[in-house]
Amino acid sequence: MQPAVRLLLSFLLTAAAVLSLDAAPVAAGPFAGYILPREAALVVDTTEEAVVTVELRSAEHPDARQSRTVITSADDAFRAAFIFSGLRPDTRYNYRVSINGEPSTDALRGAFLTPPSPRPTAPERPLRVAFAGARHAGARGDPAAANALPALAESGVDVVIWTGGQQPAESQSTPTAEGLRRQFRTLFEEPDLAPLLRNAAQYSVWSRYEAGHPRSGNRWIHRGVAADAFCRSLPRPVCGHPEFGGTASQVRLGPAEFFFLDAVSFHHSADGGTPRAFGDAQLAWLLDALAASDAPFRLVVAGRSLLTPVDAENTWRFARAERDAFLEALRSAGTPGVFFVTGAAPEGEMTRVSRTGTYPLHELTLGPVRGSKPSGQTRPALNYDRMPGTRVGQAHFAVAEFDSDRGEPSMRISVVDASGETLWRDTFRASELRQREASQRRTP
Q: How confident is the model at residue 272 (pLDDT cuts 50, 70, 90)?
A: low
- Mean pLDDT over 242-271 rounds to 89
The CATH architecture that domain 127-437 belongs to is: 4-Layer Sandwich (3.60)
Q: What ranges do the domains of the chain cover?
A: 24-113, 127-437
Q: Bridge-partner residues for 62, per DSSP? A: none
What is the Cα–Cα distance from 110 to 35, expressed in whole angstroms? 13
CA dihedral sign, ordered 90, 91, 94, 97: negative
| Better-predicted residue by pLDDT, 305 or 274 | 305
Give phi and psi for 259, each to the nearest 5: -120, 115
| Better-predicted residue by pLDDT, 201 or 374 | 201
Look at residues 203, 196, 206, 306 and name the one whose alpha carbon lies nearest to residue 252. 203
- Mean pLDDT over 178-188 rounds to 74
Is the per-residue pLDDT at 21 higher than 60? no
Instruction: Find out whether 300 and 342 touch, Cβ atoms under 8 Å.
Output: no
241 contact partners, CB below 8 Å, separation of at least 6: 248, 281, 282, 285
Q: What is the pLDDT of residues 332-359, one digit of tens each?
A: 999 999 999 999 888 999 999 999 889 9
Q: In whole angstroms, how large is the CA radius of gyration of the chain?
A: 23
Q: What percent of the chain has pLDDT over 70?
A: 84
Q: How confident is the model at residue 139 (pLDDT cuts 50, 70, 90)?
A: low
* pLDDT given at position 11: 41
Instruction: Find out whether 238 and 183 touch, Cβ atoms under 8 Å.
Output: no
Which long-range contacts does 78-81 make (Cβ < 8 Å, 24+ apart)?
78/27, 78/45, 78/46, 78/47, 78/48, 78/49, 78/50, 79/43, 79/44, 79/45, 79/46, 80/43, 80/44, 80/45, 80/46, 80/50, 80/52, 80/54, 81/33, 81/41, 81/42, 81/43, 81/235
| Better-predicted residue by pLDDT, 346 or 260 | 260
Q: How confident is the model at residue 15 (pLDDT cuts 50, 70, 90)?
A: very low
| Mean pLDDT over each residue of the chain, to the nearest integer | 84
- Mean pLDDT over 355-365 rounds to 93
3-state secondary structure of 208: helix
- Mean pLDDT over 258-270 rounds to 88
- Mean pLDDT over 187-195 rounds to 78
What is the Cα–Cα distance from 32 to 34, expressed in whole angstroms? 6
Provide the pairing of β-strand 66-71 with 51-57.
Answer: antiparallel
What is the Cα–Cα distance from 305 to 348, expressed in whole angstroms? 10
124 contact partners, CB below 8 Å, separation of at least 6: 90, 116
Where residue 371 falls (left for φ over 0; alpha for ψ -120 to 50; beta otherwise) is left
Q: Write the DSSP assignment of 174-205 as a string of letters.
A: S--HHHHHHHHHGGG--GGGHHHHHHSEEEE-
The CATH architecture that domain 24-113 belongs to is: Sandwich (2.60)
* pLDDT given at position 12: 41
CA dihedral sign, ordered 120, 122, 126, 131: positive
Q: What is the pLDDT of residues 87-134, one digit of tens each?
A: 999 899 999 999 998 888 888 999 999 988 887 666 678 899 999 998
* Amino acid code (one letter) for 150: P
- Mean pLDDT over 137-158 rounds to 84
Is the per-residue pLDDT at 20 higher than 80? no
Is the per-residue pLDDT at 18 higher than 50? no
Q: Bridge-partner residues for 300, per DSSP? A: 259, 340
